Amino acid sequence: EAGVAQSPRYKIIEKRQSVAFWCNPISGHATLYWYQQILGQGPKLLIQFQNNGVVDDSQLPKDRFSAERLKGVDSTLKIQPAKLEDSAVYLCASSPGLAGGSDTQYFGPGTRLTVL
């Protein structure tokens, strides 16, 4: 079974530029998560989808971050415009069950973003 795929793996941009990340979850997984992990910290949930609907986006900085999950499968996370403090690893995860359950989350390899 293929794991969670993410691209790109690395991205370097200058502040005020835009960037987009892509995630393809494990086939059949209903729930998809985007996390931000700053160096030395634990992952912080940004947004959670169940199929193609948003379950929670309370920690997403909506003035600059946006996300969508097309047809309940792939997802993109966009930052526009980027700030220096957005430098982090962006992790995508998926789980088979519905949001609110106790499923294991399977993480992708992450995208390391550096904002100069």
Name the site residues for other proteins (rule: CB under 8 A): 33, 35, 40-45, 48, 55-56, 58-59, 91, 99-100, 102, 104-110
Q: Which is nearer to other proteins, 58 or 70 (CB)?
A: 58
Q: Which token pair is 115?
A: 């904002």
Angle at 85 between CA 108 and CA 33, to 5 degrees: 30
Q: Which is nearer to other proteins, 3 or 15 (CB)?
A: 3
Q: Which is nearer to other proteins, 56 or 81 (CB)?
A: 56
Is the dihedral angle over the CA atoms 47, 53, 58, 63 positive or is it negative? positive
6 closest CA partner among 98, 83, 92, 97:
92
In angstroms, give the least distance from the CB of 84 to other proteins: 21
Query: Given its phi and psi angles, is residue 16 left (phi above 0), alpha (psi -120 to 50 degrees) or beta?
Result: left
In angstroms, give the least distance from the CB of 87 to other proteins: 15
Distance between CA atoms of residues 93 and 103, nearest Å: 11
In angstroms, give the least distance from the CB of 16 to other proteins: 28
In angstroms, give the least distance from the CB of 4 to other proteins: 9
Q: Which is nearer to other proteins, 22 or 107 (CB)?
A: 107
